[in-house]
């Protein structure tokens, strides 16, 4: 491996970073959600907020906001595409490795960023289940 290759992002990671899917811009009250999850990552200081809309035990829609790095943004964008339409239990089974595979691999030292969106989704699902 050449020096610096471990910092290289795939084209798919770059696309999801530059054009994040399901990102919630602006006022949160404009998206009618059923539950929200909020997590932070002490390793890198990122914070993620995930909003889910549930119908018939499936994620009908979701949106997210973050204070995070390129890897956290790209990973959560990918997760948002993977999770839509899944049952809550199916969504909980989406792993950081599934997200990494979907994106064509994150740099190894940024893999922990893929966990942030998943943790926020898990927290939102837990909060939804507590409220119903």
Q: What is the CATH number of the domain that holds 49?
A: 3.90.1010.10
Contact present, 72 and 113 (Cβ < 8 Å): yes
pLDDT of residue 70: 84
Q: What are 2-56's pLDDT values in tens digits?
A: 444 555 788 998 999 999 999 999 899 989 999 999 998 666 677 899 999 999 9
Q: Which of 44, 69, 70, 92 is catalytic?
A: 44
Distance separating alpha carbons of residues 48 and 46, to the nearest angstrom? 7
Say whether 69 is catalytic.
no
Coil, helix or strand for 99? helix
58 or 95, greater pLDDT: 58
Instruction: Write down the mean pLDDT value for the chain.
Output: 88
Which range marks the domain in which residue 44 is found?
A: 5-131
Q: Which of 94, 113, 120, 124 is catalytic?
A: 113
Q: Indicate the number of domains in the chain.
A: 1
Average pLDDT over residues 72-79: 93
Distance separating alpha carbons of residues 98 and 73, to the nearest angstrom? 16
Q: Which of 74, 100, 90, 95 is nearest to 22 (CA)?
A: 74
CA-to-CA dists, residue 9 to 2, 21, 119, angstroms: 14, 18, 22
Contact present, 34 and 53 (Cβ < 8 Å): yes
């Amino acid at each position: 491996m050449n020096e610096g290759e471990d910092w290289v992002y795939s084209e798919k990671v770059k696309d999801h970073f530059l054009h994040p899917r399901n990102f919630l811009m602006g006022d949160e009250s404009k998206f009618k959600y059923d539950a929200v999850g909020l997590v932070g990552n002490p390793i890198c200081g990122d914070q993620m907020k995930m909003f889910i809309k549930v119908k018939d035990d499936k994620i009908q829609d979701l949106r997210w906001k973050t204070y995070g790095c390129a890897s956290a943004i790209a990973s959560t964008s990918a997760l948002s595409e993977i999770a839509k339409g899944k049952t809550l239990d199916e969504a909980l089974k989406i792993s950081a490795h599934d997200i990494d595979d979907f994106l064509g691999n994150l740099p190894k030292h940024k893999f922990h960023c893929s966990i942030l969106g998943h943790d926020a989704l898990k927290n939102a699902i837990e909060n939804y289940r507590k409220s119903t």
